[in-house]
Structure 1
Amino acid sequence: MSASINNVINVTLLEEGRAAARDNINVCAIMTSQPGVLSTAERWRSYKSPSAVEQDWGASSVTAAFANAFFGTSPNPVSAGGTLIIGYWNAAGETLPATAGVLRGSEISQAIVLPVLRQHEDWSFNITVDGTKHEVTGIDGSTAATLADVVEQIQDKLTPEVASVVFDGSHIVITSKTTGAASIVGYPEASSTGTFIGDLLAVSDGSGAAHVDGKADSQVDPETQLQALSALKALVNIKGVSFIDKILDAQVPLIAAWAKANAVIVYETFTGSEALEVDPANPAWAVTLASQTNFRMLYSKAGNRKLGVSYMARTHTVNFNGERTAITLHLKTLSVSAEDYSQTEIDKAKRIGLDIYTTIKDVPCVLSSGTNDFVDNVYNLMAYVDAVQTDSFNLLKTTPTKVAQTYYGVDQLEDCVEKTTRGFVRANVFSPGTWTLPDFFGDRDMFLRNIEQEGFYVLAGDLADQSAADRQERKSPVVQVAVKNAGAIHSGDIIINFNK
């Protein structure tokens, strides 16, 4: 036998760590209170097409109608890697049906389990279902071609009237045929005869299996719109949301504050002449006064609530990895009917912070207010902050050794932030320009020059100035970033000199 090459050369492979993905900024939700396939037990479903929504909710349902406004907007989030989430708002209370007891086994591999199953013809176990003990014996694994063959034998012995037994591709699942509090599937135990199969199928106690007892019918109290949003956000990382039902006036300030805190853009359509008035009692004006920019407000004197859904769909369409892909909603076309407004109504809406959808020379278009900032600024900065955070995390996560607490290591972090920011310059979110604020950091000339030439400036603090406590905590010096917004041209003045 020849000597191992390890006597001469040893090679260690340092693999790159798995990176985290940036948030999908184009995941949008429509909140429905319509009873149907969703409930507080199943809060949401995702959709990529209007036909899929119709299959779940019915073609003539209000939920499908709002989904059609979403998918009818061109482009829409699906074309930019996004998706539509239908979320549930329990507005009127509900009765949750009784559930069955379930035993879900731990994950198993057919390739590993099957050869062992073939070694015995007398597999067995006892199991208690709904308080009654059942003996399952004489399971022959010797001729099994697949794991399903063994599961079928278990089902025949246990009988379908007692419980269903299935293999879902990775777990054995045993479900009682009854429902309610007495519906309980226990862990299998060894029988007095045969070879115990519970451990091999990973359904016995201690194997990683888990059982959930059945529940009786239960009444669920109504919830607020804020509670519904919070529950949905805990389950799926939505970035935009619009309600089919009007957001109640009392809920507006609460949801506006929640949207800012949770990096979600909420789209709401107001109606009625009172929404155009500068009045503290006007919830739209109150949002503007509070600078709650994540709460986007539209106005429709016809009360068309699909306006908010289409506006949301058109907003969440940017691929920030592309070049010059950033957009403004001003003058864009939506998939709802435009409305006629007087100049007084237009001026009042603009002052309050309400965007409207009207026509100019018979061409439908959005007129943006900007009083409560512009939606593209909110959307772009939300994407940028997440990108910087995620990319910086990935630098630390995927480095096989470490990012050292040295000047070189800090430079790595600084370069990472610069690379991310340069991508947003390429997407036309930021651009070279003149810095108009009095604040700056670092060398003033270098700061201004970088903004004028690159559109951004990144500066990391000096390690020599770092406190002993921060160094012991293995913190990086603070990295500061200044970016120049590219903005967008929404209007202009043109002067024509005429000489006769």
Structure 2
Amino acid sequence: MSLPISQVVDVILQQSPQGAQKRDLSVVAIFTNEMCDEYNNPDSRYIVVSDANQVASLFGTNSDAYRAASALFSAKPKPKTAIIARYVQETVTIPATYSKINGSALAISYIHFKTITDGYLSFYYGSDQIDISGLDFSKVSNMDDVTKIINAKLEDHQVKFIFDSVGRRFILSSKTEGKGSNFGYVFNAELGGTYIGHLTNLVDGKCTLINGEDAASYNKETPAEALSKLQNQYQNWYGVYFANTINDAELIEAHDWIIAQGVENAKVMAFTETRPANIEYVDTNVLKTLSMRNSGRLMVQYNNKGNTHAAAELMGIALTTVWNGINTAKTVKFKQQVSVTSDDKITINEANKCRRLGINYYTDYAGVNMLAEGVMLGGTFIDETTGLDAFINAVQIQAFNTLQGQPTKIPQTDRGQEILISSIKVIGEQFIDNGFLGSGKWTLGDLGGLSYGDQINGYYFYSDSFDTQDIADREARKMMPINCALKLAGAGHSVDIIVQFNR
């Protein structure tokens, strides 16, 4: 037997560490005081959705949650996902609910059942296996007829089939409310004939099992409590929007919670203002109070055309920037909204009132509908807040992954500091490429080798030598602090054109 080659050349495979992921700053949490089956569990705080139809299936098309989600998903580009979060605005008692299986949306029609005369399927209800066979669908003319054929075979059981025309899905439900027997997935017990379980989308991987619950009461909570409870359960969200009407005190409380989140958990909020009195610069106006704080965290859109969720689409437009692309950074001004009616009768006086407070509005300029002015309440530009949040998150994750991702270590030396700075320069270049950072003159104080009046190409990173580090920080294995100077590219919002002529 030959000797192993490892005695001459030994190869060691080192584990590649799993890096931390950047936050998805396009995710908006829509808070609603409306209830749905998914909230029957007291611990359930949120539902992840990818379009407004999913919200309609949960809350109905007449709900504020659906209307807010419709506005949000109307943004171009369309957000990939959103969160519908529970907000118990008033104490509510939830009636007992049925155990059920909610199928996913169907891609078929009743025509697919019409050719089947010997259909069958099976499922568990509690500990009992229920078998249905001999299903003849040859005379059906819609999906409701399909459920009637199946329910005729279920008369002796405490379950029923339902077709949800809004969500275009089948639901298998108990006839008895409250806790008790629960369902198992539909499966093929090979009863003989044509198995139809796969046509119902009530099989494992295509549906959701929901257990019955007894009646329960939920105590009233404040906006801060609702926000905190969601944050404790799930952290990958950035935008906040309340689908139901909130009063001035609730708006202030939600705003204060958001600004208290700091850098790592940075959030922004959107609010639709429909009251003409709240564009006035008076002390009784809550928006003036918040405008004076100028937190740069609250975007407000004024609308007097009945679009009560105009700001939801505004937020969708603002947060769908692709920060790792080329020339993808954008200003919010000039953008079109498809869920909002243009207020073509807004006066110069009203527009100036909105500008003074930092309130956005949707109107037309020379017949072109567009958003104005693309600012947070108080005047900070929306794209600056979201861009800086994206940059800070990217730098933080990049530095963390560099420190923990090395197979050996990054030394506490000037060479180690160079490695760390080189890694975060990648983020600086990324934000030059996407257009958020640009070249220009530095007009703040001196920083390292950067002085007032110097040209800066987007970013400048600087740190002192480890020769200046004190013993306490060295013993704590701290790297040297890194100073970062950024030159924002900004965005052109207006221009003066001077025309001269000569005869």
Partner Cα separation in structure 1 for residue 22 and residue 374 of structure 2: 30
Three-state SS of the structure 1 residue aligned to 2:439 is coil
Equivalent of 1:427 in 411, 414, 434: 434
| Counterpart amino acid of residue 393 in structure 2 | D
1:31 aligned partner:
31
2:384 aligned residue: 377
Summarize deviations over 1:321-364 as a string: whole Å, max 9, x none: 11110011111101211113111100011001111111112221
* Matched residue, 1:414: 421
**Partners of 1:405 and 1:476 within 8 A in 2:** yes
In the alignment, is the contact (CA less than 8 A) between 2:29 and 2:82 conserved in 1? Answer: yes
- Where 2:250 maps in the other structure, the secondary structure is helix
Residues 305 and 341 of structure 2 are in contact (CA less than 8 Å); yes or no, is this contact kept in structure 1? no
| Amino acid paired to 2:219 | D
- What is the CA deviation profile of residues 154-183 of structure 1, one whole-angstrom value per residue up to 9, with x for unaligned ones? 9689xxx9xxxxxxxxxxxxxxx9977x99
Give the share of equivalent positions with the same residue, in percent: 29
Matched, 1:319 2:322: yes
Could you tell me which residue of structure 1 aligns to residue 229 of structure 2?
A: 231
TM-score of the pair, normalised by structure 2: 0.72
Give the aligned partner of residue 482 of structure 2: 479
Aligned to 1:15: 15
Per the alignment, residue 91 of structure 2 pairs with: 93
User: Who is 1:402 aligned against?
Assistant: 409
Cα distance change on mapping 1:35 and 1:99 into 2, 3 Å: closer
Q: Please report how far the alpha carbon of residue 492 of structure 1 lies from its aligned counterpart in structure 2 after TM superposition.
A: 1.2
Q: CA deviation at 1:227?
A: 1.9
The CA RMSD measured in Å over matched residues stands at 3.0
Q: Residue type of the partner of 1:357?
A: Y
Query: How big is each residue's C-alpha offset from its partner over 1:367-425, in whole Å with a ceiling of 9 and x where there is no partner?
Result: 11644301111111111110000010000121111111112111011111211111111
1:203-249 CA distances to partner (integer Å, 9 max, x unpaired)?
xxxxxxxxxxx997542211122222222222232111211123321
Deviations 1:38-83 (A, max 9, x none): 43532211121222222222234332222222222221222xxxx1
Structure 2 contact 23–393 (Cα < 8 Å) conserved: yes
User: AA paired with 2:257?
Assistant: W
Kindly report structure 1 stretches of 4+ aligned residues shifted beyond 4 Å. 96-100, 154-157, 177-180, 214-217
Relative distance call for 1:397 and 1:277 in structure 2 (3 A) is: same
Q: Does 1:387 align with 2:394?
A: yes
Once residues 432 and 450 of structure 2 are traced to their aligned partners in structure 1, the CA distance between those partners, rounded to angstroms, is 21
Code of the aligned partner of 2:70: N
User: Could you tell me which residue of structure 2 aligns to residue 106 of structure 1?
Assistant: none
Structure 1 residue 343 corresponds to structure 2 residue 345: no
SS at match of 2:461: strand
Cα distance in 2 between the residues matched to 1:230 and 1:367: 32
Distance (whole Å) between structure 1 residues aligned to residue 178 and residue 305 of structure 2: 48
Are the aligned partners of 2:268 and 2:297 in contact in 1 as well (CA < 8 Å)? yes
Instruction: Give me the whole-angstrom Cα distance separating, in 2, the residues matched to 1:298 and 1:156.
Output: 56
2:50 to 38, 48, 61: 48
Residues 308 and 37 of structure 1, relative CA distance in 2, 3 Å threshold:
farther
Secondary structure of the residue aligned to 1:346 is helix
1:454 to 441, 447, 457: 457
Query: 1:52 & 1:99 partners in 2: Cα distance?
Result: 20
- For 1:41, what is the secondary structure of its paired residue? coil
Q: CA deviation at 1:96?
A: 5.2
Partner of 2:72: 70
Per the alignment, in what secondary structure is the counterpart of residue 440 of structure 2? Answer: coil
Rounded Cα–Cα distance in structure 1 between residues aligned with 2:422 and 2:283: 47
Could you tell me whether the CA contact under 8 Å between 2:360 and 2:372 is conserved in 1? yes
Residue aligned with 1:351, SS: helix
C-alpha change, 1:284 and 1:48, in structure 2 (3 Å) is same
- The AA in structure 2 aligned to 1:92 is E
Aligned equivalent of 2:219, options 218, 221, 239: 221
In the aligned structure 1, how far is the partner of 2:73 from the partner of 2:97? 35
CA distance in 1, matches of 2:67, 2:500: 51
The residue matched to 1:433 in structure 2 has which SS? Answer: strand
1:467 aligns with 2:470: yes
**Residue 179 and residue 300 in structure 1: after superposition, are their counterparts in 2 closer, same or farther (change >3 A)?**
closer
Partner of 2:494: 491
Counterpart of 1:172 in structure 2 is none
Q: Select between 230-239 and 3-12 the one with higher mean Cα deviation.
A: 3-12
In structure 2, C-alpha distance between the alignment counterparts of 1:93 and 1:474, rounded to whole Å: 51
Identify the residue that residue 310 of structure 1 maps to in structure 2: 313
Change (3 A) 1:248 1:156: closer
Give the TM-score normalised by the residue count of structure 1: 0.73
- For residues 244 and 93 of structure 2, what CA distance do their matches in structure 1 show? 21
Are the counterparts in 2 of residues 350 and 369 from structure 1 also a CA contact under 8 Å? Answer: no
Counterpart position of 2:187: none
Distance 1:67 1:222, change over 3 A: same
CA distance in 2, matches of 1:225, 1:156: 44
CA distance in 1, matches of 2:85, 2:306: 22
Partner of 1:255: 254
Q: Distance in 1 between matches of 2:420 and 2:410?
A: 8
**C-alpha contact 1:241 1:264 (8 A) present in aligned 2:** yes
Aligned length: 394
Aligned to 2:360: 355
Measured in 1, the distance between the counterparts of 2:346 and 2:38 equals: 38
Shift of 1:320: 0.9
Q: Name the aligned partner's letter for residue 316 of structure 2.
A: A
Q: Report the AA paired with residue 333 of structure 1.
A: Q
With over 3 angstroms needed to count, the CA separation of the structure-2 counterparts of 1:251 and 1:353, relative to structure 1, is same
> Using the alignment, how far apart are the partners of 1:64 and 1:179 within structure 2?
27
**SS class of match (1:231):** helix
Unaligned runs of 5+ in 1: 101-151, 162-176, 184-213
1:10 partner SS: coil
